[in-house]
Chain A
Amino acid sequence: MTAALRPAAKQASVSGALSRNRSIAIGLGVLIVLLVIGAALVGNFLAAENLRSMLLLAAFLGLASLGQTLCALLGGLDLSIAYVIGAANILLPKLINLGLPPVLAVIVVAIGGAVIGAVNGLLSFRLQGQALIVTLGVGFAVLGGAQILTSLGSSFAGTVYGVVPVWLSNMAAINGTTFGLHFPPIILVWLVISAGLIMIMHRSWFGRSLYALGNSRLAASRLLISELKLWVAVYAISGLMAAITGVLLLGFSGGGFADVGNPYLFTTVAAVVIGGTSLLGGWGGYGATVIGTLVLTVLTTILVGIGLNYAAQQAVFGLLIVPVVALYARSPPIRMQI
């Protein structure tokens, strides 16, 4: 994120493969330990019903954190995700209420998300190091604008009621079915997207360029990688995935609510760093975030199971973040950076 921290990422890439495997191994270990603890503390923890609901919640968080992971690999952040989720969640029912065919409405919302993301990318690239503020500002503006649009001619500010198409409810509701099997299709969708993205990150020009740029801007420019294009593409993907998460959350809840994205403001960042992706850029990946997402979801379920409220859960997450990051991504002392 700043000049002083660059060597950290460089050193990390030297022992990259080793460390990456280590972070995945630690993550999986933590996940298994948590599952054992959960099974011991909470009744019916490993029952099919509970596993299904945990995977469903993890799928929402995982899809929302996809863009955050890619942005972190560039050394940026996208805080607009939470607000784009909220905006998509209220704009979609509004569009359907206006008489747009649901499929078309979903496409419009998804394209809108990608466009907002592209704007984020353009501005964040121009204002290097200020991505946090830029995306926050864009997020405010987008959700404010969406709320104004949906409130026109309605007496419910910030909430939109409407008929959610059956296929969308089935997609993301807990009692949904996939090819006759008893789990919501979003879990399968998340699995396919994760596998696809991990493949893309390792095998494609796009994925390798992203790591190259995150590690060293100089090296990336020598390889004729266009920084601007990558920033715009990554943030557009982030906006697109946020909009899709907002759409799916509508299927889950059945009604549009502007603040539905708020829990994702910092949780997406937490999922990325707990997974082991460095916020400094160039190190980590979506596989790590998938594990981070699962760890967070299982932990939340345990905390709810032993009777902690939302505030106390947040506090536990907060206490977890620093030690976990200290495991993966400490910067070297200043005397080593001269």
Chain B
Amino acid sequence: MSAAVLRTRRFGLGGTYYGVAVGLFVVLLVISAVCGPHLFTLDGAAGAIIVVVPLVLAAMALTPIALVGRGSVDLAIGPLIGFLNVTLVQVLIANDVTSPVAVIAWVIAVGVAYQLLQGAIIVFVRVAPIIVTLSGYLVLSGVNLVIMPKPSGSVPDWMSDWGSGTTVFTPVLLVLVIGLVAWLLFTRTAFYQHLRLTGADERMAYASGVQTNLVRLGAHAIGGFFAGLAALAYTGLISSGDPTQGSNYTLSAITALVLGGTSIGGGRGGIIGSAVGALDMYLITYVLSTFNFGIVSGFVTQLAFGTVLVVALLSNIFLTGGKATAR
């Protein structure tokens, strides 16, 4: 499949892959404006940004890995964010290493290193990606609790007001912008085309001279970079170390990814969709919270996520005219 065909798919008559997510976003924004105008005040928006950025970045971290195909969904993303968080607090900060450079370098380097390890197992041991990431989920969930049995610790002074959410232009937003710019630059490279080609048809990519193994490792490294940014924003949000909460990001980030129109079959999708999908998820929670469901509110949210996930999957398939991924 040539780059031209890929472009047609992306901008063709069938609409963009993220059309469903953007449509839902607009609808939810209108409903929020009616039901909970607080979101559109300075305070409301600032609070929303702080909460939503880690999820947006987590969904973005899944995107390159899903794009490269073979049904790779990185189930380990949640525990990985938790792992970066607890090691940051327990290893670095507890030993008085608090300079911004060291902290940022740590989360990104460890995130990339972990994803390269997962990628290497997938490429060289040749085990299905879903099994490798499932294993990663179980191992990291356990390791997090061994490193830090219960929530504790603190963040450096320069990070301590990240979670307060008093202004819109916070460092957390800056982290997101850096991530988006980095991705946009990345989409200009030949490597990005190779990644999409590998995801769309790995055999054809290999036959065309693409180093598919290198591409797969690269996709994981980029996912690791975003996982590092997500862990940074998450640490800012909770202002401490927490061994278990990070794991919750796995299911919500996968939901956001699928909502955003990225196919886990590979080759179709992108980071804009994942980001909008994550915003949708936040808005669903927000809109539902403005109704008074009492003790069942958590369950209503769960019901809504599940339904939206299935409906989004169906409509993405039908509206974009894309065929269901053949096995």
- Given A127-B324, A133-B254, A334-B213: A148 touches B299 (CB 8 Å cut-off): yes
Say whether A338 contacts B206, CB under 8 Å: yes
Interface residues of B in 220-237 (CB under 8 A from A): none
A127: chain B residues within 8 A (beta carbon): 313-314, 317, 324
Say whether A326 contacts B301, CB under 8 Å: no
Interface residues of B in 295-315 (CB under 8 A from A): 295-296, 298-310, 313-314
Say whether B325 contacts A128, CB under 8 Å: yes
Say whether B310 contacts A123, CB under 8 Å: yes
- A254 CB, nearest partner CB in chain B, Å: 23
B128: chain A residues within 8 A (beta carbon): 1, 5, 279-280, 325, 329, 331
Say whether B327 contacts A130, CB under 8 Å: no
B308: chain A residues within 8 A (beta carbon): 137
A202: chain B residues within 8 A (beta carbon): none
Say whether B126 contacts A331, CB under 8 Å: yes
- Given A129-B265, A322-B127, A326-B125: A147 touches B327 (CB 8 Å cut-off): no
* Contact mask for chain A residues 300-324; partner B; CB cutoff 8 A; 1 contact, 0 none: 0000000001011111111101100
Say whether A4 contacts B130, CB under 8 Å: no
Q: Complex Cα distance A335/B203, Å? A: 8
Q: Complex Cα distance A267/B85, Å? A: 26
B140: chain A residues within 8 A (beta carbon): 318
Whether A145 is near chain B, meaning CB under 8 Å from some CB there, is yes
Whether A266 is near chain B, meaning CB under 8 Å from some CB there, is yes
Say whether B314 contacts A140, CB under 8 Å: no
Q: Complex Cα distance A155/B202, Å? A: 54
Whether A292 is near chain B, meaning CB under 8 Å from some CB there, is no
A314: chain B residues within 8 A (beta carbon): 138-139, 141-142
Q: Complex Cα distance A222/B326, Å? A: 17
Q: Complex Cα distance A278/B145, Å? A: 31
Say whether A129 contacts B324, CB under 8 Å: yes
Query: Who on chain A is nearest to B310 by CB?
Result: A137
A144: chain B residues within 8 A (beta carbon): 299-306
Whether A273 is near chain B, meaning CB under 8 Å from some CB there, is yes
Say whether A319 contacts B306, CB under 8 Å: no
* Contact mask for chain B residues 240-255; partner A; CB cutoff 8 A; 1 contact, 0 none: 0000000000010011
Q: Which of B46-54, B68-76, B91-99, B154-162 contacts A (4 or more CB under 8 A)?
A: B68-76
Say whether A4 contacts B202, CB under 8 Å: yes
Interface residues of B in 267-294 (CB under 8 A from A): none
Q: Complex Cα distance A314/B243, Å? A: 14
- Given A2-B265, A126-B324, A334-B203: A147 touches B135 (CB 8 Å cut-off): no
**Interface core residue of B70, B138, B303 (most chain A CB under 10 Å):** B138
Say whether B127 contacts A326, CB under 8 Å: yes
Whether B192 is near chain A, meaning CB under 8 Å from some CB there, is no
Q: Complex Cα distance A134/B263, Å? A: 12
Whether A229 is near chain B, meaning CB under 8 Å from some CB there, is no
Say whether A315 contacts B131, CB under 8 Å: no
A138: chain B residues within 8 A (beta carbon): 306, 310
Interface residues of B in 120-160 (CB under 8 A from A): 121, 125-128, 130-132, 134-146
- B59 CB, nearest partner CB in chain A, Å: 13
Q: Complex Cα distance A147/B144, Å? A: 30
Query: Who on chain A is nearest to B307 by CB?
Result: A141
- Of A137, A309, A319, A334, the residue contacting B309 (CB under 8 A) is A137
Say whether B203 contacts A133, CB under 8 Å: no
A140: chain B residues within 8 A (beta carbon): 302-303, 305-306, 309
B298: chain A residues within 8 A (beta carbon): 157
- B233 CB, nearest partner CB in chain A, Å: 25
Q: Complex Cα distance A330/B140, Å? A: 23
Whether A276 is near chain B, meaning CB under 8 Å from some CB there, is no
Whether A165 is near chain B, meaning CB under 8 Å from some CB there, is no
- Given A137-B307, A144-B299, A157-B299: A322 touches B132 (CB 8 Å cut-off): yes
Q: Complex Cα distance A129/B141, Å? A: 27
Q: Complex Cα distance A149/B299, Å? A: 10
A25: chain B residues within 8 A (beta carbon): none
Q: Complex Cα distance A270/B141, Å? A: 15
Say whether A3 contacts B326, CB under 8 Å: yes
Say whether B299 contacts A5, CB under 8 Å: no
- Given A4-B69, A132-B264, A137-B310: A337 touches B203 (CB 8 Å cut-off): yes
Say whether A129 contacts B146, CB under 8 Å: no
Say whether B138 contacts A2, CB under 8 Å: no
Interface residues of B in 100-135 (CB under 8 A from A): 121, 125-128, 130-132, 134-135
A6: chain B residues within 8 A (beta carbon): 327
Q: Complex Cα distance A333/B127, Å? A: 11
- Of B126, B139, B300, B327, the residue contacting A319 (CB under 8 A) is B139
Interface residues of A in 57-104 (CB under 8 A from B): 75, 77
Whether B207 is near chain A, meaning CB under 8 Å from some CB there, is yes
6 contacts between A and B (CB under 8 A): A77-B130, A137-B313, A140-B306, A143-B302, A309-B145, A311-B141
Q: A140-B302, A318-B141 are in contact. List 6 more A-B contacts (CB 8 A).
A: A3-B201, A127-B313, A128-B326, A133-B73, A133-B258, A334-B213
Tell me the A residues contacting B by CB distance below 8 Å. 1-6, 75, 77, 123, 126-130, 132-134, 136-145, 147-148, 151-152, 155, 157-158, 217, 266, 269-270, 273, 279-281, 309, 311-319, 321-322, 325-326, 329-335, 337-338
